[in-house]
Every structure is written in C-alpha cells, then in structure tokens.
C-alpha cells in the first residue's frame, strides 16, 4: 500500500508539472496563476491537516501563521531590489514558527471548544496588530515590489518573476511539504500525535509528554502555513490584514474536511476541489457565496468523511450515526488509527 501510494503521488506531481506546457485553453496565464494558487492552498491545507486531521487539534486561527509569514517577507524585502530568497524564506517560516510557539503555549492550556475559540481569538489579535499599527500599512497592507532571488554561489537558480517558473517553484514547495509531512507521520512523533488524537489520556499514562507533542505539531503546522503564506504573498505582490482573517482559517478547515480528515492526499484534493469550486461559483453568479455556503452545509451534513471517505455519512440517520460510533469506540479506534499510515 505504501509503495502504491508513492507512485500515485509521483504521477500526480508529474501531471501537475506539465500544466504550464499544455496547449491553450489550459496552459494559459489564467490557469497557471490559478494552478499556483491551488498549490499554495494545498500547502496551507496540509499544514492544517497535521493539526486537525492527525493531532486532533481543531484550530480556527491557522491563518495567523499564514499572514505572519506573508508580512515577514513583505517587511524584509528591500524597497528597490530583490531580497535574498534563502534568508527570506527562512525568516518568514521562522517567525511563523515562533508565533505558533508563543500562541501554542497559551492555547494548549485549553481543550475542545475552548481551543477553537482561543485559537480564533489569537488569530484575531494578530489581525488587529496588522490592521491597527501603521508600521504594517494598516488596512491597505503593504506591497512587495520584487520577488526574492534564489541563488547559489552567485548563480541564479530560479526566476520567480517568470509565471511558469514560479508555478514549478510552488510545486516543488508542495512536494517538499508532502515529503516532510509523510516522513514525519511515519516517525515516532507522528505516531505519538495520532495516538494523542484518539486517546490523550492513555498516551499520557504510557509516559508521553502529550503537551510537548501537541505543541510540536502546532509549531510544525504553523511553519508550513508560513511557507504557504510566504508563497501567497509573493504570488500576489501584496499583503493585507485579510490574510489573517478567520475566513481564511475557515476555508482551510473546509478544504481538509472536503478532502477527508487524516489524509495527506485528502488535504491536497480538498484544496483543489475548493478552489476550482470557488472559481466556478464566482463565474456562475454574483451571489456565489450563497452557493459556497450551501455546499459547506451540505458537506457538513452529508459528507463528514470528505471525498476520500465517500458519502459514508449519507445512509445513516444523523443521530443514530453518532451513537453507533460512541458505543463501539474500540473498533473505530483500531481501524482509524491505521488509516493515516496507509495514506502516507
């Protein structure tokens, strides 16, 4: 199964890489830009998947780390020349990680619904800091005039100003994210956080410092969200407080649920479907949010397991569904604990 999954990933990435080379109407500027956006959102969804799908931490403030990295690159890019890409990417991921550490230490004291509300509130605090302090450019945000330069020994590796190259660069970032997360989930840390998701008390009883593991997951998730924010800021050339808005966090949650919780391909699939759906709805009507909202409600009601899980929730009446799950916890745990490894 594991090797099988590896080949599917490989084929998917190879196919994705050909997008800019395809003949019109697909290989056009619009679709390449859309493709880049989808890839970035896939990184964001993956980072959230680590928290929600694997660790069981439902965060509604994930956009804070996305925005933090975006603002870092905007603030650190020199005004009249391109910045050093290596330094900028490390700095933006680093600040996101640091912010995740600080917020994480505070919110880890809470659980369940409190955790959702606390993460949301801290993300909102980040939003207001960007919004209210003139240093960050207020509600208009700040522009980035030059995309950074990635060079090695004075030799430029990639020209990010080029549409196609930026697309491939983003694809590479996604590849790295998938590889790192898959490897991480196979490690001791990965097994520990999945264990925490299903039974934190038991994990603690077996001698795991669950708080530290959860915090580690939160920080790593924050750093990858930072990577997504870094790329997003570069793609659009500006940052504004809306990057940290809770709609962004909510969209992330939607993507992973749409795709399927506890699955790396699910997060990517969810991001692809969500973004395509959004473009399609926007094309369809001015009141596209109505369609989007309706879809979200339908997903929550009928497809709680997402596309990877199929329409399994559909057949069971909602109340009985929940109770069946509650009365047979041992079986559910045993089968679902294995799931993440299969997908990785």
Partner 1 sequence: MDLTTFLIQCLNSVQYGLLLFLVASGLTLIFGIMGVINLAHGSFYMIGAYLAYTLASYTGNFALSLLIGIVLSVLFGYLLEWGFFSFLYEREHLLQVLMTFGLILVFEELRSILVDDDVHGVPVPSWLEGSIPIGNNMTYPIYRLFMSGVCLAIAVAMYYLIRKTRIGMMVRAGATNREMVQSLGINISLLYRFVFAGGVALAIFAGMIASPVSSVYPGMGNSVLILSFVVVVIGGIGSVKGALVAALLIGFVETFGIVFWQQAAGALVYVLMAAILLWKPEGLFKQGT
* Cα–Cα distance, 78 to 68 (Å, whole number): 18
Closest CA to 214 of 185, 193, 184: 193
Q: How far is the CB of 186 from partner 1 (least distance, A)?
A: 25
CB of 90 to partner 1, least distance (A): 27
DSSP string, 155-188: EEEE-TTSHHHHHHHHHHHHHHHHHHHHHHHHSH
Residue 84 is given by DSSP the state B
Dihedral through CA 289, CA 275, CA 35, CA 9, nearest 10? 180
Provide φ and ψ at 238, rounded to 5°.
-150, 160
Nearer to partner 1, 34 or 125 (CB): 125
Count of Cβ atoms closer than 10 Å to residue 238 Cβ: 16
Minimum Å gap between C-beta 317 and partner 1 is 10
Whichever of 57 and 227 has its CB closer to partner 1, that residue is: 57
Please report how close the Cβ of residue 6 comes to partner 1 at its closest, in angstroms: 29
224 in Cβ contact with 43 (< 8 Å): yes
Q: Which C-beta is closer to partner 1: that of 59 or that of 77?
A: 59
Min separation Cβ 293 and partner 1, Å = 3
CA dist 34 and 309 (Å) reads 26
Nearer to partner 1, 93 or 261 (CB): 261
| Of 16 and 219, CB closest to partner 1 | 219
- The bridge status of strand 150-152 relative to strand 238-239 is unpaired
* Contacts with partner 1, residue ranges (CB under 8 A): 52, 58, 60, 106-107, 109-110, 112-114, 116-118, 120-122, 124-125, 128-129, 131-134, 246, 250, 253-254, 257, 261, 287, 289-290, 292-297, 299-301, 304, 318-319, 322-323, 326
Q: At closest approach, how far in Å is the CB of 193 from partner 1?
A: 17
To the nearest 10°, report the CA torsion of 167, 152, 71, 219: 90
Quick one: 106 or 157, whose CB is closer to partner 1? 106
């Amino acid at each position: 199964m594991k090797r099988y999954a590896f080949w599917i990933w490989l084929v998917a990435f190879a196919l994705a890489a050909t997008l800019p080379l395809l003949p019109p109407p697909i290989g056009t500027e619009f679709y390449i830009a859309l493709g880049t956006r989808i890839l970035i959102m896939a990184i964001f969804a993956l980072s959230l998947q680590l928290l929600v799908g694997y660790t069981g931490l439902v965060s509604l403030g994930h956009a804070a780390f996305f925005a933090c990295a975006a603002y870092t690159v905007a603030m650190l890019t020199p005004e009249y020349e391109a910045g050093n890409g290596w330094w900028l990417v490390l700095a933006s991921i680093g600040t996101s990680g640091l912010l995740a550490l600080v917020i994480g230490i505070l919110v880890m004291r809470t659980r369940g619904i409190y955790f959702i509300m606390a993460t949301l509130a801290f993300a909102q605090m980040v939003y207001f800091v960007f919004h209210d302090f003139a240093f960050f450019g207020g509600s208009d945000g700040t522009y980035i005039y030059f995309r950074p330069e990635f060079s090695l020994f004075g030799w430029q590796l990639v020209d990010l100003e080029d549409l196609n190259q930026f697309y491939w660069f983003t694809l590479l970032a996604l590849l790295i994210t998938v590889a790192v997360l898959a490897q991480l989930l196979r490690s001791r840390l990965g097994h520990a956080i999945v264990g925490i998701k299903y039974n934190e008390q038991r994990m603690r009883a077996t001698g795991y410092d669950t708080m530290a593991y959860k915090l580690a997951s939160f920080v790593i998730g924050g750093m990858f969200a930072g990577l997504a924010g870094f790329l997003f800021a570069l793609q659009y050339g500006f940052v504004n407080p809306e990057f940290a808005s809770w709609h962004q966090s909510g969209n992330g949650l939607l993507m992973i649920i749409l795709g399927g919780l506890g699955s790396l391909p699910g997060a990517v699939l969810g991001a692809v479907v969500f973004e395509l759906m959004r473009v399609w709805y926007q094309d369809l009507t001015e009141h596209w949010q109505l369609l989007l909202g309706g879809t979200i409600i339908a997903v929550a009601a009928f497809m709680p397991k997402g596309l990877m899980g199929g329409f399994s929730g559909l057949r069971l009446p909602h109340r009985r569904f929940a109770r069946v799950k509650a009365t047979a916890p041992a079986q559910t745990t045993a089968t679902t604990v294995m799931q993440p490894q299969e997908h990785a």
